Amino acid sequence: MSTTKGGRTSKVTHLVLRQMKEQGERIAMLTAYDASFARLCDQAGTDVLLVGDSLGMVIQGGDNTLGVTMEHMIYHCRAVARGVSAATGRSMVVGDLPFMSYQTGLDEALRNAGRLIKEGEAEAVKLEGGAEYVPLVERMARIGIPVMGHIGLTPQSIHSLGGYRVQGREQAQADKLRSDAQALAEAGCFAIVLECVPKELAAEITASLPIPTIGIGAGPECDGQVLVLYDLLGMNEEFRPRFVKRYDNLALRVRTAIDSYISEVRDGEFPASEHSFGRDKEPRAAAQSAASPRVAAAGGVVSEIDPTAGLSCVPLHPLPGGKR
């Protein structure tokens, strides 16, 4: 099982996140939209997986997040929850409430939040906005739905904000963000995302709150950070916002792998005999020792003692029923 640098292996909950803030331990959050990436993120030790409505842009190819529906969110939340469950089960799964799923009234908002928990198997929900949503946050907290807030640049308000702009540089904006953060914390939010706000303001808000702040484009003083997984991996070479650090160039690596596959298919090199079945039944390979651990690697599931596995292998967590 993968662990964090601090050695944490227990299930992450909103109580654990509060404890991490109190102990000065930084929180690592990433977006995830499917079971495969969720499994890898969980194995790597990610604290929180956000099933963001950013899927409208990253997965669906839209210009913004406004077209994402509750059905989309439930589908992707369920996939991510399954991926986490198939790995260590440690990561907390948070689902975004999409545009117009909570803005039209308390009752509809509560129903939709409940759907993300019941049908989507999320463990918390996230909503965008400030003090105007205090009554909703209070209601959700009373009925047992953990809520993560989100202030600053709120993508669901992209038209009213006039584009993707840093928020809080003017004094009036900064004062409103401070009061919104305080109001959301007092209403019962367990954490707040600060998106694209000046680092000095983010540091002030972080120091003033008893709950964690998760920054994206908000400087290093937040209690945690979040990035879109595809941005971190370099999946879109044209998208280069200032706040993103690329830890890989997966776009190039994926294209290279696919190019190799296409070349081998056209040259008749793939499939080779080892990838094919004969008319006669071949003897089954010797069964692997039950004591031999299994690991997940880029090339599939291989033995931990396999010298070809490479150094990036991660031991798998035993699944329910004794499966590995």
* Catalytic (active-site) positions: 195
Task: From 197, 162, 156, select the one nearest 180 (Cα to Cα).
Answer: 197
Q: Is the dihedral of CA 139, 90, 193, 60 positive or negative?
A: negative
Task: From 180, 181, 179, 222, select the one nearest 198 (Cα to Cα).
Answer: 222
92-96 vs 294-297, strand pairing mode: unpaired
Q: What is the largest CA-CA distance in the chain?
A: 78
Question: Helix, strand, coil proportions of the chain in percent (round to 5)?
Answer: 40, 15, 45
Length of the chain: 324
Contact 198, 168 (CB under 8 A): yes
H helices of the chain, in order, are 14-22, 35-44, 55-58, 70-86, 106-118, 134-143, 158-161, 171-187, 199-208, 229-232, 250-266
Can you tell me which residue has the tokens 């918390």?
Answer: 124
Q: Is the dihedral of CA 12, 129, 106, 108 positive or negative?
A: negative
Task: From 264, 223, 310, select the one nearest 21 (Cα to Cα).
Answer: 223
Contact 126, 149 (CB under 8 A): yes
CB neighbours (10 Å) of residue 114? 16
Those residues whose C-beta lies under 8 Å from the C-beta of residue 181, and which sit 6 or more positions away, are 130, 149, 151, 192, 194, 205, 208, 209, 213
